Amino acid sequence: MKRDPYHDDDERTQNLPAATERAFVMLVQWTALAFAPVLGLVAWLNADLPLAAAAVVSFTTGIVAWQQRLQGRHRPVRLVLIVVGIMSILVPLQSEAVVGSMMIAVGAFAAVGTLFIQKRHFRPYVFFLGAVFAAELVLLNDSILKASETTTGQAHNTFGLAIQLAVFLVSVFAINAIKQAVGSAGSRYQLLFDMAPIALFEEDFTEVGEWLAELRSNGVDDLNAYLDAHPEELGAAIQRIRIRDANQAAVDLVEVEDRHELIGHLRPEAAAAESASGFRSQLLAIWEGRTRTTTEFIGFSASGRRWDGVLHWQTGTNLEGLDLSKTIVAILDVTAAREAQRDLATALDALAESEREFRVLAENSTDMISRHSPDGTYLYASPAAATLLGYEPEELVGTSCYDYFHEDDLAAIAETHAGNLAVPDVQTVQYRIRRKTGEYMWFESTSHSLRDPETTEVVEIQASSRDITYRKQAALDLQRAKEAAEKATEAK
């Protein structure tokens, strides 16, 4: 997300949000268009030409406001200049019945202008108002106007001008008090915005909304299908997104020097293939009239570092629908979590593969492969258990291996078991084990323990056991033969 110098020279930078401008322009439009026919009718019934001129000005102002709304270029200060400038000239020409009300309205309207005027234009605006009020004073006391039949009773209406100035000053003070209260709340918001631990962007999607409205007016009813057919339009839409502000967490995430490098319109390269889905979900939210959406996407920092993010997009509403001028985009960096998930998935896959290989070996081995809990309970027994002991594997699972040992061999087995729990070395023991038929056979088991890598506690004991009955019997026979031979030798 980089700054675009070409789009960044926005001369409309205001202290107030664009939504306030739009609301004011809409209010002026409907008020002016509503008053115009009323003033025109009264002027026609009373043959009042100055009032008819005021009706024309009111209608013209409404049309200008309407055009600003249609073009999406709201200029409240221009409306104020039109109304105050022209109506102030018409005020001294009005009949006594309406002149007071019109002067108060002009004064209030002039005060509202201070709400939207930029700081650098404030002094010229004050000079303009001073010139307007001075012109009113001159016209109200002009000897030619005194003699005019249309201005009967207006020569002494200087008091009305004083009332107008009073209304203007009171309105200015009230408006500034409101601005200060709003500014205090705004300061608290800005503090929270700046200190938030996740990346926050304040973005203006107004141009995007106008582009989508144009697409809809041109007959597009499926934005997804349109973007699929015209993929280049996504980049064009992204150029219409304007970042108004970003907090320090956003600066750190994108790895730029300061927030000013982020302010401005986005460049089309921001829509990399990995990031396109995130921007697309935002466009779809606007298209469908939703105020929020959440999506996952992949972003890249200024240094080229890839990061995984969860994007939360939220905008407000106004009388016209979505207020896209101040949209908050929060991005949570979940790179570490996603890497951990990928590592876990890899480990689980490796574990599953190891388990599969273990079972293949166990199920095709003539030895009985078994897994035990630390206390000796069978967790698994290979199919060789049926051949060697006569037990099906599921008959052994859940039972203790000590239930099958010959009592004369328990001491040797317990010693081997203790060795498994104490050290990770391989242990080997020979013992007698009872078959399902009740007879005993000789087993030789080689076992080792598996430990938790964090706690080092034994979690499982694995054993490989084989039938050594014939070998053991042969050894016994050999021992008996040896003893018999020794006795025979002694007898000679």
Task: List per-residue pLDDT tens for the chain, 492 residues long.
Answer: 444 433 333 333 345 556 677 778 888 888 888 988 988 898 888 888 888 888 898 899 889 989 888 876 778 888 888 888 887 777 767 666 676 777 777 788 788 888 777 777 778 888 888 887 777 777 666 544 444 444 444 444 556 566 667 777 777 777 777 666 665 655 676 778 888 888 999 999 999 999 999 999 999 999 999 999 998 888 888 889 999 888 999 889 888 888 888 888 887 665 565 678 888 899 999 999 999 999 988 888 888 888 888 999 999 887 678 888 889 999 998 888 888 888 888 888 887 887 787 777 767 788 999 999 999 999 999 999 999 999 999 999 999 999 999 999 999 999 999 988 888 888 999 999 999 999 999 999 999 999 888 888 999 999 999 999 988 888 888 888 887 777 777 766
Beta strand ranges found along 43-145 (DSSP E): none
Contact between 372 and 401 (Cβ < 8 Å): yes
My answer on whether 177 and 108 are in the same domain is: yes
My answer on whether 202 and 95 are in the same domain is: no
Which of 312, 333, 354 is the C-terminal boundary of a domain? 333
My answer on whether 373 and 307 are in the same domain is: no
Handedness of CA 117, 118, 119, 122 (dihedral sign): negative
CATH number at residue 375: 3.30.450.20
| Tokens coding 360 | 């293949």
SS3 label, residue 151: helix
Contact between 114 and 172 (Cβ < 8 Å): yes
| Tokens coding 95 | 């009949």
Tell me whether residue 313 is in a domain.
yes
Tell me whether residue 347 is in a domain.
no
My answer on whether 58 and 136 are in the same domain is: yes
Residue tagged 């007698």 (tokens): 432
pLDDT confidence of residue 385: 93
Which of 173, 189, 205 is the C-terminal boundary of a domain? 189
Distance CA 426, CA 411 (A): 18
Handedness of CA 7, 13, 16, 20 (dihedral sign): negative
My answer on whether 210 and 184 are in the same domain is: no
Q: Could you tell me where the DSSP H helices lie in 49-118? A: 49-71, 76-90, 96-116
pLDDT confidence of residue 273: 58
My answer on whether 131 and 204 are in the same domain is: no
If one counts the domains in the chain, the total is: 3
My answer on whether 446 and 324 are in the same domain is: no
Tell me whether residue 94 is in a domain.
yes
Distance CA 332, CA 249 (A): 10
Closest CA to 142 of 91, 104, 84: 91
Distance CA 369, CA 397 (A): 12
Tell me whether residue 356 is in a domain.
no
My answer on whether 174 and 205 are in the same domain is: no
Which of 155, 189, 223 is the C-terminal boundary of a domain? 189
pLDDT confidence of residue 142: 55
User: Domain range for residue 456?
Assistant: 365-477
My answer on whether 220 and 289 are in the same domain is: yes
pTM of the full predicted structure?
0.49
Tell me whether residue 128 is in a domain.
yes
pLDDT confidence of residue 145: 46
My answer on whether 215 and 326 are in the same domain is: yes
My answer on whether 23 and 156 are in the same domain is: yes
Residue tagged 């000789």 (tokens): 442
Residue tagged 């009332």 (tokens): 163
Tell me whether residue 425 is in a domain.
yes
Tell me whether residue 469 is in a domain.
yes
Tell me whether residue 351 is in a domain.
no
Residue tagged 């349109």 (tokens): 226
pLDDT confidence of residue 71: 76
My answer on whether 454 and 432 are in the same domain is: yes
